[in-house]
Amino acid sequence: MENSSSNPLFELMEPKTIATVGAGNNPMKMGAIQALSIVKDGFPGKYYPIHPTEKEVFGYKAYPSAFDLPEAPDLVMFVLPAPLVVQILEDFGKIGTKRAVVITAGFRETGPQGQELEEQLKDVARRYDIRFLGPNCMGMLNSHLPLNVTVAPLTGPPGLLGMASQSGTYITQTLPYLQQKGIRFSKAISVGNEADIDIIDCLEYLGADQDTKAISLYIEGLKDAGRFLETARRITPHKPVLAQYVGGTDAGARAGSSHTGAMAGPDYLYEGLFRQAGIIRVESIEELYYHGWVLAAQPRLKGKRLAVLTNSGGPGTAMANTCNDGGMEVPAFSKKLQAEIKKHIPPHGSAGNPVDLTFHMDSEAISTIIPELILKSGEVDGLVVHGLMGGGFLKAVYPHLTGLVGDIGADNFAARFARDMEKPLSLPEKYGLPMVFSSFFGREDNFTAAYQDQNIPFFDGPEKAARGMLALHRYNQVSKRPAFSSPDLPAQAERAANIISGAREKGLKNLDEYSSKLVLQAYGIPVSTEMLAGSTDEAVQAADKIGYPVVLKGCSPNLVHKTGQDLIQLNLSSSEEVELAYKAVLASAGQDIPVLVSKMIKGEREVMAGMIRQQGFGPCVLFGFGGIFAEAVNDTVFRLAPLSIVDTAEMVDSLRSSALLGEYRGLPHVDSEALNNILQTVGNIGLLHPEISEIDLNPVIISGSEPVVVDALIVLQQD
């Protein structure tokens, strides 16, 4: 991706001069801690502390106000009481500063007064063309400048993983933890309240940043899912993006009046959004870091053939099973390769795949000789290794060796067995294939430390390492997706617009089934043949014209769900049955209402489609298996409109029971083009008619191979 000149983070993350407001000399206060991060972690530019009383801050000359500075700083950071921020930001605006980080809390997150204060902050920023992070954030870091304005020290060489987070903790308080795991950020950004710069701006920036090889996002909610999708689609074909979303609980779900609305909990929407965008979703912050690091630090997978190498059968089996379960193959090696491996393992070891050395102290075999044989064989696309250990194991057993190895300490004893690490560390780069490792020893072991320092991922459990490799596999699938092409939106159908506006003028909350289907028909969606009847004679005439068997249904805007209310009479084969059914429907309704006479559509498979609007998302299209058990089965997927053919095909394929839509027990393959057209069109209707809140097509019966909508409900937006 090319740099976007309009993205404010390119300047904010690369300042030559920084001022802090609120940082004094007390190292136990937050402002001072963050100032120390600037001056102690190698920022190469000029630093100007602003303080009303202190003459110096940590040896740097302090200035009473912005107007006393020798120049307008590129970046100003605020850590002071919220009511003071607005005026002082204006002072910096007057002298020409264009970028700010507002660490200070006490704004929108505190209630109406804080909201008003945040609006004042935004007004001042707009007036002076200032772009800012926060408020209520923990700052950011750029390990390649270096620049660190967080509360934790930034140590070690520059990193490869970019991160943007709606929780400040995850880019600052975790830094010591990440350093112990060998994971290093290229850039990391805390967005706080996102009053100005938001997490989508961060995604765009990290997508274009040459130092960032993969992106991790911690998300609690998005204000503009459409813009997020558009941005991510530009990035994910070229750079991996991972996300953890934590806002999808039942408490956050939006209840709707249709089946579609009832099933549209936010988690479903975010799951669909991430899949549509090519984003790899993870379930924990640990996976967000570790899997992001694998994707940032290792060569790309070119296929799905995996080799497993271990010094113990249990971990090898666990890794092979985990990867196989995730869609990768663990193929048996050729006889030639097995013969080469057998030269370097005990007679009782296994040279197949997994390769099991059993307990084996020859570290050169497991670290160098066998991995190189496997990688250069051409038989695999990646390698997972468990059991590399050296100094850590020797230190662990040292107490049993006291008195047997002479009067030397544990460290010196372990040092005697140290190996040259240059060759094993070079293998991933040499062969262009990813390697992921696991061990139960941490950085106390020379192997763990050496691999971590060389940007080779080292996990503390075999299944974790296998899941790290699966992240590479998932991104390989993303990178091979067809390029997205935005479909053309058709013109608004006049007939549909008239039906909707007429219903709104009458104050109706939704259209009746007949009117709903007329709207669908206006856009080419196939619906069952039907006619409205206002009397027994009209019902019989309609049935005769349509052709038996038929269905009779009560039809009124007040009848949202008819199943279970005796308002549907099925499989009527004669005029006598129609007459009796008509009377039964009116009796169940308890009022004189129109009755819908429809062609009886038969099929052994039923699906459902629909559209729901969710704040921040716009029209979202649902697809899943339908009928009366739709909510119980809950095999559904969502995508944001507009939908491409690639989107609709992925919706169908991602259902757990998608095989039922292919050739199944004598049933023909469902007409994919017709199904795709229904899903695309439902999304288009949502885009063309913002007056529609929900669309529910359930069931859509597969008649032979053709999908036909036999029941429909369109819910209208309420002012």
Look up tokens 């930034």; give the residue: 154
Half-sphere exposure in the Cβ direction for 598 (13 Å, CA): 24
3-state secondary structure of 699: strand
Q: Which of 600, 623, 650 is the last residue of a domain?
A: 600
Q: Which of 150, 184, 217 is the last residue of a domain?
A: 150
Output the domain CATH number for residue 320: 3.40.50.261
Model confidence band, residue 626 (pLDDT cutoffs 50, 70, 90): confident
Asked if residue 251 has pLDDT above 50, the reply is: no
Look up tokens 């007459």; give the residue: 579
Query: Is there a single domain that holds both residue 434 and residue 533?
Result: no
Query: Is there a single domain that holds both residue 456 and residue 317?
Result: yes
Domain of residue 83, residue span: 1-150
**Residues near 603 by Cβ (< 8 Å), separated by ≥ 6?**
701, 702, 703, 704, 708
Output the domain CATH number for residue 575: 3.30.1490.20
Model confidence band, residue 28 (pLDDT cutoffs 50, 70, 90): confident
Phi then psi for residue 417, to 5 deg, are -105, 10
Of the listed ranges 104-113, 282-291, 659-668, the least confidently predicted one is 659-668
Please report whether residue 319 resides in a domain: yes
In angstroms, the CA 346 to CA 706 distance is 61
**Residues near 494 by Cβ (< 8 Å), separated by ≥ 6?**
none
Asked if residue 638 has pLDDT above 60, the reply is: yes
What average pLDDT does range 333-347 have in this prediction?
A: 95
In angstroms, the CA 351 to CA 337 distance is 8
Question: What beta strand segments (E) does 267-408 contain?
Answer: 280-281, 306-310, 355-356, 382-386
Query: Is there a single domain that holds both residue 583 and residue 451?
Result: no
> For residue 486, what pLDDT is reported?
85
In angstroms, the CA 17 to CA 73 distance is 5
Mean per-residue pLDDT of the chain: 92
Model confidence band, residue 264 (pLDDT cutoffs 50, 70, 90): very low
Query: Is there a single domain that holds both residue 325 and residue 459?
Result: yes
408 against 679, higher pLDDT: 679
Asked if residue 432 has pLDDT above 80, the reply is: yes
Of the listed ranges 112-126, 245-259, 264-278, 526-540, the least confidently predicted one is 245-259
> For residue 219, what pLDDT is reported?
94
Instruction: Report the percent of the chain where pLDDT is more than 90.
Output: 80
Please report whether residue 70 resides in a domain: yes
Please report whether residue 673 resides in a domain: no
- Model-wide pTM > 0.75: yes
Phi then psi for residue 226, to 5 deg, are -65, -45
Query: Is there a single domain that holds both residue 450 and residue 536?
Result: no
Query: Is there a single domain that holds both residue 436 and residue 534?
Result: no
Asked if residue 327 has pLDDT above 70, the reply is: yes
> For residue 255, what pLDDT is reported?
40
Query: Is there a single domain that holds both residue 433 and residue 304?
Result: yes
> For residue 4, what pLDDT is reported?
55
> For residue 312, what pLDDT is reported?
87
Query: Is there a single domain that holds both residue 311 and residue 455?
Result: yes
- What is the count of structural domains for the chain? 3
Query: Is there a single domain that holds both residue 322 and residue 459?
Result: yes
Query: Is there a single domain that holds both residue 303 and residue 446?
Result: yes
Query: Is there a single domain that holds both residue 102 and residue 20?
Result: yes
Output the domain CATH number for residue 27: 3.40.50.720
Query: Is there a single domain that holds both residue 449 and residue 371?
Result: yes
> For residue 392, what pLDDT is reported?
66
Asked if residue 295 has pLDDT above 90, the reply is: yes
Question: What beta strand segments (E) does 221-367 contain?
Answer: 241-245, 280-281, 306-310, 355-356
Please report whether residue 416 resides in a domain: yes
Q: Which of 150, 170, 202 is the last residue of a domain?
A: 150
Look up tokens 């662990």; give the residue: 396
Please report whether residue 415 resides in a domain: yes
Please report whether residue 37 resides in a domain: yes
Question: Tokens at residue 336, please?
Answer: 């030639």
Alpha-helical segments (H) within 421-557: 422-431, 446-453, 462-479, 494-505, 513-522, 536-546
Asked if residue 698 has pLDDT above 90, the reply is: yes
Please report whether residue 697 resides in a domain: no
Condensed to tens digits (0 to 9), the pLDDT of residues 139-175 reads 999 999 999 999 999 999 999 999 999 999 999 999 9
Please report whether residue 246 resides in a domain: no
> For residue 263, what pLDDT is reported?
41
Model confidence band, residue 417 (pLDDT cutoffs 50, 70, 90): low
Condensed to tens digits (0 to 9), the pLDDT of residues 513-562 reads 999 999 999 999 999 999 999 999 999 999 999 999 999 999 998 876 66
